[in-house]
Structure 1
Amino acid sequence: MKYLPGPALRATPIALAIMLLAGCGSNDDDPAVQIKTLSTRADLVSGGDAMVEIVLPAGGQADGLKVEVGGRDVTSAFALRNGRITGLVTGLASGENTLVARTGTTSAAELKITNAPRGGPVLSGPQTTPYVCATPTPQPATGTTPATHASGLGTTATDAQCNIATEFKLYYKTTTAGCSFALPDPSPSVPFDSTTPPTTANPPANPCFKPYTVGSTPADLATTTTDAGATVPYIVRVERGTMNRGIYDIAVLFDPTKPWTPVAPQAQWNGKILYQFGASTGQPRRQFRPATAWTDDKSLSRGFMVVANSLTDSLQNSNRVMMSETVMMMKEHIGDSYGAIKYTMGSGCSGGSINSNMNASIAPGLLDGITISCAYPDSESTLLEVNDCVLLVEAYQKPAWLNATAGLTPAQANAKKAAINGHRDQTGCHAWFNRFGTNAQVGNYLARTVVDNTTGAIAQATALTNNCQLPTSQVFDKTTNPTGARCSAWEWAASIWGKSDDGIRARETRDNTGVQYGLKALLDGAITGEEFVTLNETIGGVDKDSQLMAARSQADTTALDIAYKTGIVMSGKQLAKTPVIDMRGYDDSLIDVPPGLTAFPQALVGIHHQWRSFSIRDRLDKANGNHDNQVIWRFGRNGFTPSATMNTSAFLTMDEWLTKLKADTSTNPIEQKVVAAKPAGAADHCFLSTDATQSVKVTDAAACDADPYLRKAASPRQVAGGPLTEDVLKCQLKPVNAADYQGKLDAAQLTRLQAVFTTGVCDWSKPGVGQQAAVGWLSFAAGPGGQPLPAEPVSRER
């Protein structure tokens, strides 16, 4: 949708006669106009369009306004609207464009506008290849040709950046009771390997949203009343297209009988955005549709715009800088196509919470507030627990550990594992092992799975797969294909991390050097000295190709610097600029089922542990001295998915918070504004697991903590002595000190431990290696590592 020129400028009540004339001269001593881009910075424009404002100098007049870009007259795009001279400049070339504006009474001014292609990138650096474009219908793999996903669009990609023509469809909300809010068009599947052809699910038999024909009045057409009090037919327009190689959906209430331009949006849109982030995590080399559905009634019905892009779904894209860039590009597109945005509320569970938090850390200000559930702070520090669990689960099956624990009952052995893992029981690590233990695999692999939660026994698949979702012949193999595509998250984001000295593999952050697994369990008497030493002798690490090895893992120190500086390890200092409502349910076990559920696997996956929300809080406290921008709502029944009632309450509370925040026009720091705008309803509380109706708010934190299904556990790194912040990717080291073990080790065991840790053990009293403050808003256009964005471009007198 493109802007249509508005009406000619008219005389205002103060009789400012404005005419759009060209060619009038000016006095060189006259002050110049100012030129501003409105939807994004002038050096971060994408898609060939830019919403521009011309600001007159004090006392200036707009008689004879002329605006040019690249020598092309674009004056007709500009008009006086709501007291401001604005216009959408289209047709910008890729790269630098010079926009020049003058009036008959002002000197000319120019603004350099840097435009990136719609397919990206803007600031995330070169895009990783190969990348397989989606097709109108899914195609299975044939030989060395990868499978494709269904795009949900009617035409094929036009170029290597997977640009597909944008489409618009109309739907209406039915009044039929019991309808389904699943997508009314065929839904995308989630294939996890490169051999199974993708499929699409059929639409529900009774969808809440049905196709709408312009001019019709269906008997079951619902109406809705927006938060501005307007009652309108519940008709939604969905825009589907591509941006930054991702496929996006934009849904908003729409009146098909009226025009919509970015300078005159339809009134039923309240200017607010709900940006939905998809869950899980992955790095497939294929174009997908968004995993989240645009059919969010609580927001659409109130006049919100619902937005998603597959590259902001964590399952489809684990490059968090590219993810943040995509949000930026989507918001600019909305500003250029629909109108000014009042605020953007982010939302997501699990990997969706990672993207919400990491937006706030990497590019503060893109999201004005977030409502999250089953939250993690970021992907790099979450991988600490994943990688530790992989090593521990494997170690527990090794002969050395089995010999050290011989004679124990299964319950006794599992109690020791739980104490070492820090979890409620041994299945927390089983869950991580099975769901994401292979996510960092670089090449083709045979998946390993815990098949017995009592013994921890592991089975290995017989068919190769890979995380790129490419044919195995195209993927890295150390012997047969050393230059094939490498499929870990670091490889997918090589433009951020850079390459190691060999110029082939991407730098990475995996490290467990000096980590004393089970240290607190030893000191608490939960494991013996022999078990402690044996575990640390045998646990080992993984090499740069993700293969198990006897030595400990070593991070690339440059990658550590990048992780912290960029904000890829979520910064408490940056997060303090964003209001957060965190809804936390129970998902700490695969076998201990909370009230409201009958049995696993109903609504449990075993990885969204209670302590994570408080880890985020600990980062806020340590960075800012408070966590006043964060609210935690806990619930002890029904698993980890918040109820519709809680989700709606969080949504409305955040709406109130952000409305008040945006009304604050003071010059106070944003952190202070966030706290000042906090509504009374934004306060910690829990619903106890004994509360069958989940309706009694408990504000006593001690009472919440005492509930067995709200109680916080820990992680393997915390049991090893690490902080609750869980943000030390690689620890600094200190010599082994016998006194640290409180007499729990004999002389022989101490000698063996020193042989394991020849360079020392973790000194948790010190910051992590490379740990530093996040800079925020880095550009990787000039290369890995990133550079802070320069000062925002401003116009200058020509």
Structure 2
Amino acid sequence: MRSGKRFSHFFLLPVVCVALAACGSGGGDDDDTPALDVKFLSSRADFVSGGDGLVEVILPTGTAVSGLRVEVGGRDVSSAFALRANGRVTGVVSGLANGVNTLVVSAPGVRSASLKITNHPIGGPILSGQQIQPWVCATPTAQPEAGSTPSTNGSGLATSATDAQCNIATETRFFYKTTTAACVNALPDPTPPATANPNNCFKPYDPNAVLPADLATTTTDTGLTVPYIVRRERGTINRGIYDIAVLFDPAKPWTATAPQSAWNGKLLYQFGGSTGQPRKQFRPQGSWADDKSLARGYMVVQNSLTDSQYNANRVLMSETVMMMKEHVTDTYGEIRFTMGAGCSGGSINQNTAASIMPGLLDGIQPTCTYPDSETTTMEVQDCVLLVEAYQKPDWLNLMANGGYSLAQVNAKKAAINGHLDQTACHAWNNLFGTNSKPGNFFARVVLPADNATGVITTLPVSANNCQLPANTVYDPVTNPNGPRCGGADSAVAVWGKVPNTVFARDTRDNVGVQYGLKAFIEGAITAEEFVTLNEIIGGVNADSILSVNRSQANPDALATAYRAGIVASGKLLAQTPIIDMRGWDDSLIAVLPSGISGPPNITGIHHVWRSFALRDRLDKANGSHAGHVMWRYARNGFVPAPSMTLDAFQTMDMWLTNLKADTSTASIAQKVVRAKPVEAFDFCYLSGDAAQATKVTDKAICDADPFLRPHASPRQTAGGPRSEDILKCQLRPLNAADYAPQIISGIHLARLQAVFPDGVCDWLKPGVGQQAPASSMTFSGGAGGVPIGPAPTATPQ
């Protein structure tokens, strides 16, 4: 049971206290008659979805359960409540209408209580604001695009959507783990099914057939040995497709008030990687068949809207996690704790969910870590601008006239970019440089053969981020009111639009940024190169088209990003245990000692310094990063070895078990540190350690390893902090003394003054609009959001 103190100021209360005796009558009534207590167990009582919720009624001593009466909307639902084996009176209230429902609980001789329950459609939204349109439902089998009719994805479900919110009938299937040692641990239920591996570790199970001869058993972490049979539930919530998998005996019942004992009450939530903003319904990216967790009794949960590749709206993502947890509670029973896992975009979603809605995730295990999406976008946009600038005649002429070799030119680029070499910016440009494009585009990329020169090629095939037919999306001339497909556009309900335009408010900004500042000060580039670069760098306009002018953020978007916790807050993240598995992915051309280079474990974008940025935010906000553990490695690229993933899972399990056992009145941040197990400490595996078996705890030794050392980013070489949490800098006057020991001429200074007429970044000051988060916010009333109010409480009758 969570301490009430932890959640008193934050968003999600898995147990919402609405007890009259415990929380006060709320009406100032002095009646001394004993009162009923009520706890809404599924979620906050105003954030219910799908028409049902798990409720606990606490009767005063001596009150008979037989006299209990529970009504909702005038209906008698008393039969749903009973004294359970755990000694508590609980029941699932179902049939809730959309909107406000009044729950009334009464018993002879005690004061009755009423509670307002606000139910929302299972297709959402609850607090993320108006849903974007169009939204293309998945179909039982994928359908190709035809004219203006978009293609669809295979849902993995047998029936089609029943409404415009893409609700599809829920289905369950059973699988079993085979005893075959040489099995393949892959997704056992792909779409189409014909692509399933016949040697899969998990095979279809028929409850009505004879037990398979190769049926394995497993012993859970509670010591219970059971047949290794898994029930996989698939359905739709919040317009995404979800999977829930858990050990299950098909011959026995399972209700929310009487779960089967093979489930340990723990939940592993898997977050998918990458990032994108398609207007389509997908199946989740990952595999629910996670043996390390299922075998121990965990439930595995995922939803396509919590996969970053399919949804770049972080508020919508967090809301979806909340709705999934509510559904689990209503259907399977109370959750003991929730552990997150995921790489890259999956790390973004873990960090931002813990920041946007503290308490939603009890502990997280980010790999290939980024603190959040907004500040990651800074590096993407900087790299796009730099890759383009390096191919402009002004820069090329400087390099040619300087007589530099190609290696010297690339050394200058690396010094400006802050990266190990020039290819990391190529990678950002190629993979995500088009993510903010609102309409159709032809991608401009640096082909692998051109990584040395940085020459840009425009691809011949157009695309759009909505994944809709080309003639249906936004075009500033031919279709100005068509759906816009950029990252900010996908979350326009959060950001809002610039008044009297179709443009979503945007946080991208590079006004005052002196690209290559540290490279110039350290002598890696000349004054002429430094000045020229800043003259030609430019920015992008509202349609993400390259412009000679610098990009300018919208002030309202900046405030929203910080206030809503979308820029991950170190203060809030201190309330969540973090095991950060940091691999190496700093280059497209550098070769690791093991000889690994290129796909699949190298993309060039998951840079080591990102984990240190997360740590810096914790240090700045709390004076400590005691709740953040970093495990570094390199030989696997950015993907941790299975043995490390298992160690992290088991260590986080111990950490959260300790945390839940602490019922003191200490703050949650203090509890996180106190609960930390001895196994949770910083270490690295040196890149020269072929066996990857020796844990090195000396940070200096780890940092000296060329494949473990953190590099930097373009903003850091421009003078910005490694925490990289300043979206738009405040400005100060240009000062020649700032370039010491380099001497800058009056001519160069005058040219810089023309580039920066309002001044240059003052990195010692907070960013424009930077502020403490308001913790959890709702956007149901419109863009920009407001802090959510207190959870509903019961009132006496």
Query: What range is the shorter-chain TM-score in?
Result: over 0.9
From 399, 403, 418, the equivalent of 1:405 is 399
Q: Are the counterparts in 1 of residues 156 and 283 from structure 2 also a CA contact under 8 Å? A: yes
The match for 1:116 among 120, 133, 136 is 120
- Whether 1:210 aligns to 2:203 is yes
Equivalent position of 1:488 in the other structure: 486
**Residues 389-428 of structure 1: matches in 2 within 5 Å?**
389-406=383-400, 407-428=403-424
Asked if the contact 1:34/1:796 (under 8 Å) is kept, the reply is no
**2:509 corresponds to 1:511:** yes
CA contact (8 A) 2:596 2:635 kept: no
Shift of 1:228: 0.9
Using the TM superposition, give the Cα deviation of residue 597 of structure 1 relative to its aligned residue in structure 2, in angstroms: 3.6
Residues 1:166 and 2:170 aligned together: yes
Structure 2 CA distance for aligned equivalents of residues 70 and 28 of structure 1: 26
Looking at structure 2, the residues matched to 84 and 280 of structure 1 have their Cα atoms a distance apart, in angstroms, of 44
Shifted more, 31-40 versus 217-226: the winner is 31-40
The superposition leaves residues 708-739 of structure 1 with CA deviations (integer Å, 9 ceiling, x where unpaired) of 11011000000000001001000000111111
Q: CA deviation at 1:57?
A: 3.8
What is the SS of the residue equivalent to 1:286? coil
Name the counterpart of 2:662: 664
After the TM superposition, which of the residue ranges 308-317 and 222-231 deviates more from structure 2?
222-231
Q: Report the more deviating stretch, 94-103 or 56-65.
A: 56-65
Aligned pair 1:135/2:139, yes or no? yes
Describe the shift of the 1:444–1:200 C-alpha distance in structure 2 as closer, same or farther (beyond 3 A). farther
1:503 & 1:241 partners in 2: Cα distance?
37
| Alignment partner, residue 445 of structure 1 | 441
Matched, 1:294 2:288: yes
TM-score using structure 1 length:
0.94
Once the 2 structures are TM-superposed, how far is the Cα of residue 501 of structure 1 from its aligned partner? 1.0
Give the equivalent residue in structure 1 for 2:455: 457
Deviation at 1:223, TM superposition (A): 0.8
1:341, 1:614 → 2: CA distance? 32
Q: What is the identity, as a one-letter code, of the residue corresponding to 1:88?
A: V
> In 1, distance between residues paired with 2:723 and 2:640?
24
The SS at the match of 1:463 is strand
- 1:709 maps to which residue? 707
Correspondent of 1:35 among 29, 38, 51 = 38
Residues in 1 aligned to 2:609 and 2:597: alpha-carbon distance in whole angstroms = 23
| 1:775 shift after superposition | 1.5
Q: What is the CA-CA distance between 1:405 and the residue it aligns to?
A: 1.3
User: Whole-Å Cα distance in 2 between the matches of residues 256 and 638 of structure 1?
Assistant: 40
Query: For residues 204 and 672 of structure 1, what CA distance do their matches in structure 2 show?
Result: 47
CA distance in 2, matches of 1:154, 1:601: 35
Partners of 2:636 and 2:795 lie apart in 1 by 60
Alignment of 1:22-171 (within 5 A): 30-57=33-60, 60-81=63-84, 82-171=86-175
Which stretch of structure 1 is more off in the superposition, 402-411 or 324-333? Answer: 402-411
Question: Which residue of the partner structure matches residue 784 of structure 1?
Answer: 783
Whether the 8 Å contact between 1:733 and 1:763 is mirrored in structure 2 is yes
Q: Which amino acid aligns with 1:292?
A: G
For residue 63 of structure 1, report the CA deviation from its aligned partner: 4.9
Equivalent position of 1:533 in the other structure = 531
Q: Aligned partners of 2:193, 2:413: CA distance in 1, in Å?
A: 41
Q: Distance in 1 between matches of 2:772 and 2:60?
A: 40
1:503 positional shift: 4.2
The aligned counterpart of 1:383 is 377
Paired with 2:785 and 2:571, the residues of 1 have a C-alpha distance of: 19
Kept in 1, the 8 Å contact 2:391–2:455? The answer is yes
**Residue in structure 2 matched with residue 352 of structure 1 by the alignment:** 346
CA distance in 2, matches of 1:443, 1:471: 11
Classify the secondary structure of the residue corresponding to 2:376.
helix
Q: Which residue of 2 aligns with 1:630?
A: 628
Question: CA 1:722/1:28 → structure 2, altered by over 3 Å: closer, same or farther?
Answer: closer
- Per the TM alignment, residue 157 of structure 1 is displaced from its structure 2 partner at its CA by 0.2
Aligned to 2:218: 224
| TM-score where L is the length of structure 2 | 0.94
Q: Which amino acid aligns with 2:323?
A: M
Aligned residue for 1:408, secondary structure, equals coil
Of stretches 633-642 and 317-326 in structure 1, the one that deviates more from structure 2 is 633-642
Partner in structure 2 of residue 686 of structure 1? 684
Name the structure 2 match of 1:180: 184
Name stretches of at least 5 consecutive residues in structure 2 with no aligned partner: 1-29
Mapped to 2, the partners of 1:741 and 1:205 lie a distance apart of 65
State whether residues 374 and 584 of structure 1, in contact with CA within 8 Å, keep that contact through their aligned partners in structure 2. yes
DSSP-derived class of the 1:375 partner? coil
Contact 1:151 1:288 in 2 (8 A): yes
Amino acid corresponding to residue 795 of structure 1 in structure 2: A
Task: Find 1:364's aligned residue among 358, 363, 388.
Answer: 358
Q: CA deviation at 1:80?
A: 1.2
What's the secondary structure of 2:533's corresponding residue? helix
The CA deviation string for residues 638-657 of structure 1, in whole angstroms up to 9 with x for no partner, is 21100000000000000000
Counterpart of 2:24 in structure 1 is: none
CA contact (8 A) 2:125 2:131 kept: yes
What is the aligned partner in structure 2 of residue 9 from structure 1?
Answer: none
Match of 2:234 among 226, 232, 240: 240
Instruction: Tell me, in whole angstroms, the C-alpha distance in 2 between the residues paired with 1:703 and 1:325.
Output: 42
2:56 partner SS: strand
Contact 1:631 1:683 in 2 (8 A): yes
- Distance verdict in 2 for CA 1:282–1:200, change over 3 Å: farther
Per the alignment, residue 330 of structure 1 pairs with 324
Report the number of matched residues. Answer: 761
After superposition, the C-alpha distances for 1:184-213 in whole angstroms (9 at most, x for unaligned) are 1224xxxxxxxxxxx888111311111001
8 A Cα contact 1:238 1:251, kept in partner: yes
Map of 2:255 onto structure 1:
261
Per the TM alignment, residue 180 of structure 1 is displaced from its structure 2 partner at its CA by 1.3
**Shift of residue 598, structure 1, vs aligned partner:** 3.6
Alpha carbons 2:588, 2:597 under 8 Å: kept: no
AA at the equivalent of 1:443: G
Deviation at 1:602, TM superposition (A): 4.1
Shift of 1:29: 6.9
Report what 2:518 is aligned to: 520
Structure 2: distance between partners of 1:503 and 1:748: 40
* Whole-angstrom CA distance in 2 between matches of 1:151 and 1:240: 10
Q: CA deviation at 1:777?
A: 1.2
Indicate the larger mover: 178-187 or 711-720: 178-187
Cα distance in 1 for partners of 2:259, 2:601 equals 41
Q: Contact conserved, 1:107 with 1:797, CA < 8 A, in 2?
A: yes
In 2: Cα distance, 1:584 partner to 1:414 partner: 26
| Match runs of 1:569-648 below 5 Å | 569-648=567-646
Question: Higher relative contact order at CA 8 Å, sep ≥6: structure 1 or structure 2?
Answer: 2
C-alpha distance after superposition, 1:260-294 (max 9, x if no partner): 11111111100000000000001100000000100
- 1:206 maps to a residue whose letter is N
Which secondary structure does the structure 2 equivalent of 1:447 belong to? strand
**8 Å contact from structure 1 (residues 519, 719) kept in 2:** yes
Once residues 227 and 608 of structure 1 are traced to their aligned partners in structure 2, the CA distance between those partners, rounded to angstroms, is 34
How far is 1:59 from its partner?
A: 5.5
The answer for unaligned runs of 5 or more in structure 1 is 1-26, 188-198
2:4 paired residue number: none
- 1:514 and 1:733 in contact (8 A); partners too: yes
Alignment match of 1:567 (pick from 565, 568, 572): 565
Is the Cα–Cα contact under 8 Å of residues 151 and 289 in structure 1 kept in the other structure? Answer: yes
Distance, in Å, in 1 between the alignment partners of 2:381 and 2:600 is 26
Report deviation, 1:765.
0.7
Residue 615 of structure 1 aligns to a residue whose secondary structure is helix
- Indicate conservation of the 8 Å contact 1:88/1:336, yes or no: yes
